[in-house]
Amino acid sequence: MILIGQYDSPFVRRVAVSLHWHGLPFERRVLSVFNDLTAMLAINPLGKVPALQLDDGEVLFDSRAIVDYVDGLVPPERRLVPAQEPDRHRVLRIEAVAIGLTEKLYERAFEQNRRAPEKRDQAVIERTERQIASALAWLEALNPSPWLHGERLTIADVSTAIALTHLREKLPTLSSRVNAPALMAHRDRCEALDAFSRAAFSASEARQSQGIVGSS
């Protein structure tokens, strides 16, 4: 398998961590949706990352679809999304908030890094920051100890930890105002795991793509 995308994208990292967690070998093709848009459009009709090329040449799009596929390659007891209810929908509920948080972080970073100061919409910034703060408060209230749900790592943990790292790396000023000690400890615990460190956030790849990566 070949994973396409950069490790400054939280959505690419979600897939990479899942693959490493399950011990599934893959190669990576480092493409930027800004610098390599023509190549990306040839891979994904929306020109977005991540994309996962399977061994037979088929290409999967969207991190949720890819993680679902990857999870299906391992026994149910090892999956990042529990196979049985009610654990399944509870993990997916947390994941939905974590993914939504990540999308709002991307929107906020786009306003800061891609728009000229005179063109930034302060109302949009304030609304987005309220959504970010609300999502962080909701996740913090779950008080991960050590995981967000259940007795083992799930996709909820993967998505939340990666979102917090994205916040720290892309929006350090906003990150410095966050009061979420349980989430910060959870992020540090996850990022110390081998599956995360092998797909660590890449500042060099962020610089190559001028700081922002569109993803899903």
How far is 23 from 184, CA to CA, in rounded Å?
A: 26
Minimum mean pLDDT among 24-28, 65-69, 186-190, 202-206: which range? 202-206
160 and 63 within one domain: no
Please state, as a whole number, how many other Cβ atoms lie within 10 Å of the Cβ of residue 18: 26
**pLDDT of 210:** 61
**pLDDT of 213:** 46
Segment 14-64, tens digit of pLDDT: 999 999 999 999 999 999 888 899 999 999 999 999 999 999 999 999 999
Please state, as a whole number, how many other Cβ atoms lie within 10 Å of the Cβ of residue 75: 8
Average pLDDT, the chain: 93
**pLDDT of 122:** 84
* β-sheet bridge partners, residue 53: 2, 59
97 and 59 within one domain: no
173 and 97 within one domain: yes
Q: What is the mean pLDDT of residues 120-144?
A: 93
172 and 94 within one domain: yes
Residue 120, pLDDT above cutoff 90: no
Q: Which domain holds residue 69?
A: 2-79+198-208
- List the CATH number of the domain containing 72: 3.40.30.10
111 and 95 within one domain: yes
Segment 87-103, tens digit of pLDDT: 999 999 999 999 999 99
**pLDDT of 214:** 44
Domains of the chain: total: 2
DSSP-derived secondary structure letter, 98? H
Residue 44 included in any domain: yes
Residue 203 included in any domain: yes
